Structures are given as structure tokens and as C-alpha cells.
Amino acid sequence: MNQDRQAAIVGIHEYPSRLTRGVSAMDIKIDCIRTALEDAGLSWGDVDAVYDAGDGEAGGGLQLSAYLGLRPNVIDTTQVGGSSYEFQAAHAWRDIAAGKCKVAILSYGSTAASARWAIGTGSMQRPGAANWEANMEIPYGTTLIANYAMVKQRHMHEYGTTTEQLAGISVATRRHAMRNPDAVQAMTDLEFVGVNEITTADVLDSRVVADPLHLLECCMISDGGGAVVIASPEVARNTRKPPVWIIGSGEAIKYTESDGDITVSAGAQSGPVAFGEAGIAPDEIDIAMIYDSFTITVAVCLEDLGFCKKGEVGDYVAGGRLAFDNPDAPALNTDGGGLSSNHPGMRGIFLLLEATRQLRGESHSQRPDARLAVAHGNGGRLGSTHTGGTVILARD
């Protein structure tokens, strides 16, 4: 394992409500940053680096810094979709190691549910001039979910994967969600049909949204937000909670190619880099926080990160095998994930939050003696242009 401890997550906060009418995205961000700093035992004056994806009203770090009255030495405005926060955590790690800053904040706020954004099923058509990427897809009426459906269809055709097998992802994450009071409240507020644990049969019986993706294979649309504080070793050793160290990272992009394989994600490039840098193998991981916009997102990312071979994920995830209390496999998305806890549009920050909770021993679905976690974000559209950000985390 990489023993070089150069930066750590020292403060976290997740906005508890998933339906926040009358609260702005900026309100959510500020509340989360304030509480994350309190969690770390730090103050606004300690912050000298701002990482922001331009969500809500934040203006890519420009407006956020002005709103908070900060004069950061580092401003990072990386925006690569849902994996932005894994990219930013890696950048903060490098910037702190280089001596450019000592205390960095990452934050996110969204009111997607209150604003009734049709994130997955709405038209991808946008006003304005045609561009090199959109002119081959958007005129034909594709939706975001259609990309993921195509990937699942191809995986089923190529490897014989079944919906019955992939339902194990939904079963495991819903089980975790039912142990998380905030997730239970989210499903209640968002009027889920059945706020309870689910079975494989439930997934198969749920309606098809985009063939072959069923409703219970698709993420919820919620409000929400969170914040992460990352600090130097000198700061981390004196914070309120035990530090969770960043020990490896990888970043990648993948896009449509004539001879490409849409069942391979950007994680096939970012994962080996992160694990190599950390000096560990996937089978050493206790907690796998994998972006779960849809079950197929988790499936291909698990394969590409090296948890199982390409084409073997069906058997790997079947039957809810990745539940927190099965010691034979990593625990998957123990907060309930995007499928059953929250998905306000870009979920990458929540992967870092729950991985940190696990390594602190604070999760509602706690894996005993969890020591190593991976947070892997997927941004953009699987099967088309998308990014992969992989961060390996370790406790002391």
C-alpha cells in the first residue's frame, strides 16, 4: 500500500433532505460547507482552496468564492459531469502535496427534484448551433437513458448477462437504503411505490423505462448536496475526526469510436492507474462506492475497475452479493446509492462522503473494520462521451 500520506478528507456533510422546496442550490452548498468545516473543527478562515463544478448558482468557483468572502490560492473549476468530485479530490490531493494550499473545499447543491428536471428521460436536444458531437445523435431524438439501455442490451448480447443477475445491484443497495433514515425519508418524500426492501422479482416486475432497463434499475431524481474538506497532513493530524487519506487516483475519458466497445467504460483506464498508485489490488477493497445512475453503470464499472473479468459481472453481483454483511465481496453503495438514497444530477460527491463514513466507522450499514475504499464516478453518458474518476481512500 502507498504509505505516503499527503492529503486527507477531514470533514464531510451531506444535506439530509432530498426534497427541499423553497431552498436554493446555493443555500444547500453553503449549509454543507459550513457543517463540513465544523465536522473537521476548522473555520472559514482556514480555507485556501475552492473546487467547484459550477453547479447550482456557484459560477464555477468565481461566485462561490465571492459569496463566501474567500480569497483562495487555488481555484479549480473542473466540470466533467458526475465524476467531477473524484477529479477534484485528486486535484486537491496534488495541489496540497505541491504546497499550493492546505485546506480545500469541494461542494455540491441541487434542486433537481423540486425543479422537476427530466434528467434521464427528457430530450437531449439543445438550442443553438449544431456541434461535432451532437449532430450525430441529438437529431434522432435520443435520451440520456437510451445510451445506458444500449450498453445493457449490448452486454446482454455479448456475454449473456441477464436482468435477473443485475437486479442484485438494486437489491443490495435498497437493503442498505432501508438502514439509512435519510434514504427512507427520501423514498417517502419522493413517493416511491413501496418503501421497503426489494427482491429480484420486484425488479423484474417493475415497468420497463427504456428497454431493457426496468424502473428499479434507474436512479431516483432528488434534491440534495454535500461538502468535503481535504487538508494537508499538518492540518489533518489536529482535526476533530480521524483523517481518511487519499492514496491513489486516476482520471480518464472515453468516447464513441467506430471500432469501440460500448460495454467498456472510462474506468478501464482510470482504475488501474489509481490502484497502481495506491499499491493495492481490487480484491483488497472493503467498500466500493460506484456511481449508480443505472444498474448497468455499476456493472461495467465493476468489471473495468478489476473486481471481476469483463463479461462476468452478472454472476459477481447476482442475489445481492455485494451487501454490507457479506465478507466475501466489497460492500456496494452502503448509503443506498443513487438507486435508493439520492441522485440530484451529479452524484460523485456522495461517493466520497459514504466512503469516508465507512472508514470512520459511521455508516448505517457499516462493514466491520473497513480499511480501504474506492470511490468511482462516471460522468457524461455511458456508451457515448463520458469520464471516469477513481479515488482510493484509506484509514490510518
**Residues 195/78, Cβ–Cβ less than 8 Å:** no
Task: With respect to residue 352, please indicate whether it lies within any of the assigned structural domains.
Answer: yes
Q: For residues 132 and 110, give the distance between their C-alpha atoms in angstroms, rounded to a whole number.
A: 29
Q: For residues 361 and 384, give the distance between their C-alpha atoms in angstroms, rounded to a whole number.
A: 37
Pairing assessment for the beta strands 287-290 and 331-332 based on DSSP bridges: parallel
Task: With respect to residue 197, please indicate whether it lies within any of the assigned structural domains.
Answer: no
Task: With respect to residue 162, please indicate whether it lies within any of the assigned structural domains.
Answer: no
146: nearest Cα among 170, 117, 113, 124: 124
Task: With respect to residue 175, please indicate whether it lies within any of the assigned structural domains.
Answer: no
pLDDT of residue 125: 54
For 197, residues 6+ apart whose C-beta sits below 8 A from its C-beta are 171, 174, 175, 178
Task: With respect to residue 307, please indicate whether it lies within any of the assigned structural domains.
Answer: yes
pLDDT of residue 116: 87
Task: With respect to residue 198, please indicate whether it lies within any of the assigned structural domains.
Answer: no
**Residues 305/378, Cβ–Cβ less than 8 Å:** no
Task: With respect to residue 147, please indicate whether it lies within any of the assigned structural domains.
Answer: no
**Residues of the chain where predicted confidence (pLDDT) is lower than 50:** none
Q: For residues 113 and 126, give the distance between their C-alpha atoms in angstroms, rounded to a whole number.
A: 21
CATH number at residue 361: 3.40.47.10
**Location of C-alpha cell 482552496:** 49
Task: With respect to residue 149, please indicate whether it lies within any of the assigned structural domains.
Answer: no
pTM, two decimals, is: 0.96
Q: For residues 324 and 41, give the distance between their C-alpha atoms in angstroms, rounded to a whole number.
A: 30
pLDDT of residue 2: 74
pLDDT of residue 258: 84
278: nearest Cα among 86, 9, 3, 6: 3
Give the structural domain span for 274: 8-115+221-395
Pairing assessment for the beta strands 213-214 and 208-210 based on DSSP bridges: antiparallel
Domain count of the fold of the chain: 1
Classify the C-alpha dihedral 301-304-307-313 as positive or negative.
Answer: positive
